[in-house]
Chains A and B, each alone.
Chain A
Amino acid sequence: MVQKKEWAIPQTFVQQFAANEYVAACGDENEVYKFECNAGGFFGEGGTVFLETNGEDGLQIPGDQCVALAGYHPCGETHEAPTTDEFLKGYFKPLTGLKFKEVIVWRGTDGNNVHVTANLDMNSWETAKS
């Protein structure tokens, strides 16, 4: 007969490595991206913007964080966004239509606005010295 062991509380230890998401090279501190705020619907209309926050690829509702509830509109302007800022993976869901598309979100200089680009290739973004 197998000797039973005393039950112990299940414990899990997660050690997360901080990824080197951005390593500033010499001179990059004053560099900005020309961030084109251009993500819109078929008719150029605005919509709702979500951030990819639940770690599961694709838009999940509920799951991913809504940062602009039908309150986002593409202004079509090109913002100067410091290259050291965070550029977040997100999703744009237009007011008309059901399909969402993947976008990159920049929260603006104060970190509380919503600027969205449909150009997912950051390497193609124009840069400039600020």
Chain B
Amino acid sequence: MKWLHRKPEDPAQENIPMPSEVQPKVINVDDPDKRFQANPNYLLREIGGESILVPIGDAGELSNSVISLNETSSFLWQQFQSPTTIQEAVAEAEKLYTDSAGVMAEHIKLFVISYLKIGLLQEV
């Protein structure tokens, strides 16, 4: 008996319910107790006055990358070296920075979401 290939199926067209196991991952950062930690496969180094994340070990798709951080990104990266909540990171940032525009907390939340998406941060 000869098995034939089938083209990848489109569940929507074939009315096959997409199992939950292949649904896109939902990142929930709204849980105030949720802790996040920097991916240990990246090391922060100061090179030529710039903060650079150096991929080491199994750094995944960014292993061939140079990742440079501005001052606040570098600050946040250091905060997440141990499991930290967003609120704790905000509290530490408030000690060092003024936030006249009232955007710091939102920026930090977006930082966490972005870094989770590209694997620089991990949920703990």
The contact string, 1 if C-beta is below 8 Å from chain B, for chain A 30-60, is 0000000100000000100000001111000
Check A88 for interface membership: any CB of B closer than 8 A: no
Q: Smallest CB–CB gap between B79 and chain A, Å?
A: 11
Residue of A whose beta carbon sits closest to that of B23:
A62
The residue from A9, A54, A63, A69 contacting B11, defined by CB atoms under 8 A apart: A69
The residue from A7, A18, A69, A75 contacting B5, defined by CB atoms under 8 A apart: A75
Tell me whether A62 and B65 are in contact in the complex, defined as CB-CB below 8 angstroms, given that A6-B97, A9-B72, A68-B8 are known contacts: no
Contact A12 B65, beta carbon cutoff 8 Å? no
Check A67 for interface membership: any CB of B closer than 8 A: yes
Q: In the complex, what distance in Å separates the CA atom of A74 from the CA atom of B2?
A: 9
Contact B70 A73, beta carbon cutoff 8 Å? no
Residues of chain B lying within 8 A (CB to CB) of residue A37 = 5
Residues of chain B lying within 8 A (CB to CB) of residue A9 = 72, 103, 107
Contact B5 A73, beta carbon cutoff 8 Å? yes
Residues of chain B lying within 8 A (CB to CB) of residue A63 = 25
Q: Smallest CB–CB gap between B76 and chain A, Å?
A: 6
Contact A12 B68, beta carbon cutoff 8 Å? yes
Contact A11 B6, beta carbon cutoff 8 Å? no
Residue of B whose beta carbon sits closest to that of A37:
B5
Q: Smallest CB–CB gap between A76 and chain B, Å?
A: 7
Contact B72 A8, beta carbon cutoff 8 Å? yes
Q: Smallest CB–CB gap between B116 and chain A, Å?
A: 12
Contact A112 B8, beta carbon cutoff 8 Å? yes
Check A19 for interface membership: any CB of B closer than 8 A: yes
Interface residue ranges, B against A (CB under 8 Å):
2-9, 11, 16, 18-19, 21-25, 58, 60-62, 64-73, 76, 93, 96-101, 103-104, 107-108, 110-111, 114-115, 118-120
Q: Which 6 A-B pairs have the closest CB atoms?
A: A55-B60, A55-B61, A73-B3, A10-B73, A7-B97, A61-B21
Could you write out 24 A-B pairs with CB less than 8 Å apart?
Answer: A4-B97, A6-B97, A7-B93, A7-B101, A7-B107, A8-B71, A9-B103, A13-B67, A15-B66, A18-B64, A54-B119, A56-B60, A61-B22, A62-B22, A68-B8, A69-B11, A69-B16, A69-B22, A71-B6, A71-B8, A73-B3, A75-B5, A113-B8, A114-B8
